[in-house]
Every structure is written in structure tokens, then in C-alpha cells.
Amino acid sequence: MQVWADISRALTAGNCCCLVSVVTADGSTPREVGARMLVLPGGGFHSTIGGGAMEINAIEKALAMLAGATAKAELVKYALGPNLGQCCGGAVTLLFETFTPDQLSSVELLASAEATGALYCETEITAGGTARRIISSEPSTLGLAASNILHEDYSDHRQTLYIFGAGHVGKALMLPLATVGFKVVLVDNRLDMLPSHIPANFTTLHHAEPWQVVGDIEGGAYVLIMTHDHGIDYQILDAALTAGRFAYIGVIGSATKRARFISRLKKSGITEGVAESFICPIGIDGISSKVPADIAISVTADLLRRASKISSLNNS
């Protein structure tokens, strides 16, 4: 969800809208600090702050504020058990902000900054019911601090994933990966195999020698290799392991394919530890189906699990 781009579109169309943000989360809560939902007149909304009674209550509150057709900001605390009858037992503070079309110019500035991929804000919630937002040069600890100062992060933290191969499984991955936290580049040397319609978080790349693409991939990215040709798979794998900067390298195939690739890599001079560091077969244990859609779900689940582990380590 590109928050300020969505708000800009609503205001450009002449509509008011209400941004609902989780600014504190104590105990067991449906979503974390930084989760956001944009509510439109009529009850339409983008994204989620967790669903259930809390979200229904928040939408009703947002619609009531939108009925006033004025720009305002309000902090509301919910004890999920006593207030909403939810079993979570935690408590959250939500920030409700309504925007009107006459704020379009300031919203467009934020949308432009958001489009760069790195937008941090320090926002003061005033006693008069306004939100004064200043763009910061660097991130701070997210959430509501003393004196009603809110530290916000609208940056793009999605994990970069390169998928080599736009065959049956490569295309099947578009559906489960469309709404999760990955920024995906789908690469193939066959131009006619690259899909013309792709999810918003996907881009496609045609290259006659796809292993040459590896040199341009950022450090920490995930690399998933599933082309139509085992020879090309090997060349991409060799380049990726030699680069030595990727958080995950997976190759579609069997244990036999893995063993053969490891043998070739060692003979080429790659050390044993590096040669054995890629994942093959891919996906989670317990799903043996060879149906492309089933493989895609299994692989997506494994990628999410790995990304979650990295995120937990970074936040510990």
C-alpha cells in the first residue's frame, strides 16, 4: 500500500478520506505499530489494521469523521477486551486523520517522497485536533512518543526477489506473491513467455543471457531459479553463489539435481560450504504435489518464513 499515493488519488477525485494508523500496540493485538488503513466515503477501504471488531469500529469512527468534511486528527485508545469484546487482551491507540481536497498539494509532496522508497516523518498531534507532519532525514523508533509526537515510516521495506524463469511455476507464483511483502522481478530469456499482465509488486525483465542479470542484483536479495533449461539454471546458480551477497538462493528440482549441481560447482573451484549453500528442492516440507499452483503456495510459504526470521533478527 502506497499510503500517500492512495490519499492523493482520492483527493484528486474530489473525495475526502480518512487514514487510520496503529500508533501504539500493547500486549496481544491484531496488527503492529505502523499498520494503516485508508477509509473512503461510502465505506470502501484499502489495506487493514487487523479485521474483526476493532476494524469495524474504526471504519464506523472514520465514516463519522468524514461526514464533517473537515481536516482533523484524533487519537483513540482501545482496550480490546473491555471495549470491543475481543479475546486478544491487548490495547491499541489509533490515529484517525481526515483529509480534504484542499490539502492535495501537501499530500502530493508526501506522495512524491514516498515514491523514492524512503519516507520518514515526525508528526505532532496538536490539542486542536491537527496533525503537523515534517519529513525526517532518517528513521526513528516507530510509534507514539512523549508530547504526542509520532514517528512514522512510509518506506518500502519489501524483500527483493528475483525469479528466473517465467514458465508454469514462475507464472503460478504471481498470485500468492501479489499481496505479500516482496518486490519481485521476473526474468526470462524468452520474450514471449513474459506475461503482459502482472501484479503491482512485479516487474518483468527480458535478457538473452539471464545469468548476466545476477551482477545487477542488490545485496540481501532472494534469488529463485526455475528456468526451462538445467544448463541455464546452473549458470545462474554459479553466478549467484560466486557473487556471495544474497540472503537466499533456491533452485527448483530434486535432490538428484542438487547433488549433480554441487558436484559441478566443486569441480569448478567453488568451496564445499558455498557449493552446498543453496536450497533444492524448494518449498516447505509436507507438500509433495507437482501441480504448479501447489508448488507456488509451498514456495511462497517458505519465502515468508525465511523473511520473517530475518525481520525478527533485525528487530531483536
274: CATH: 3.40.50.720
Distances (CA, A) of 280 to 88, 249, 252, 255: 39, 9, 6, 7
Instruction: Considering only the C-alpha atoms of the chain, give the largest distance between any 2 of them, rounded to a whole number of Å.
Output: 72
Same structural domain for residues 163 and 299? yes
The pLDDT > 70 percentage for the chain reads 94
- 237 and 192 within one domain: yes
Q: Is 184's pLDDT higher than 50? A: yes
Please report where in the chains the cell 559441478 appears, as a residue. 264
109 and 220 together in one domain:
no
Question: What's the pLDDT at 148?
Answer: 85
Q: Which of 135, 153, 171 is the last residue of a domain?
A: 153
8 Å CB contact between 25 and 88: no
Residues 136 and 203 in one domain: no
Residues 93 and 209 in one domain: no
- Pair 192, 281 in one domain: yes
Residue 150 pairs with which residues in a beta bridge? Answer: 123, 144
Same domain, 60 and 89: yes
101-131 pLDDT, tens per residue?
999 999 999 999 999 888 999 999 988 898 9
28 shares its domain with 82: yes
| Cis peptide bond N-terminal to 281, omega within 30 | yes
279 & 225 share domain: yes
Q: Average pLDDT for residues 289-295, to the nearest whole number?
A: 96
| Mean pLDDT of all residues in 285-300 | 95
Question: Domain range for residue 222?
Answer: 159-315
Nearest Cα residue to 19 out of 100, 78, 139: 100
Residues β-bridged to residue 92 = 25, 78
Number of domains in the chain: 2
Mean pLDDT score, 273-290: 95
Are 232 and 310 part of one and the same domain? yes
For residue 311, is pLDDT > 70?
A: no
Residue 155: C-alpha distances to residues 118, 158, 292, 307 (Å) = 4, 9, 33, 17
Q: Does the pLDDT at position 221 exceed 50? A: yes
Q: Which residue has better confidence, 137 or 223?
A: 223
Q: Does 13 score more than 60 pLDDT? A: yes
Domain end marker among 138, 153, 168: 153
Element (H, E) at 267: helix 255-267
Q: Which residue has the cell 539454471?
A: 233
Model confidence band, residue 83 (pLDDT cutoffs 50, 70, 90)? low
- Same domain, yes or no: 167 and 301: yes
pLDDT for the residue numbered 128: 85
pTM of the model: 0.82
**Confidence grade of residue 79 (pLDDT, cut at 50, 70, 90):** confident
Contact assessment for residue 165 and residue 188, using Cβ atoms and an 8 Å cutoff: yes
pLDDT at 313: 41
Residue-level pLDDT at 10 = 96
Q: In degrees rounded to 5, what are phi and psi of residue 54?
A: -60, -45
Over range 299-310, report the average pLDDT.
89
Q: Is 27 helix (H, G, I), strand (E, B) or coil?
A: coil
Q: What value does the mean pLDDT of the chain take? A: 91
How many other C-beta atoms are found inside a 10 Å radius of the C-beta of residue 113?
Answer: 17
Give the separation between CA 212 and CA 226, rounded to whole angstroms: 16
Q: Has residue 84 got a pLDDT over 80?
A: no
How many residues are there in the chain?
316
Whether 86 and 175 map to the same domain: the answer is no
- Choosing from 153, 185, 205, the residue where a domain stops is 153
Considering only residues 84 and 163, tell me which one the structure prediction assigns the higher pLDDT: 163
42 Rama sector, left if φ>0, alpha if ψ -120 to 50, beta otherwise: left
Predicted pLDDT of residue 85 = 62
Would you state the pLDDT for residue 88? 67
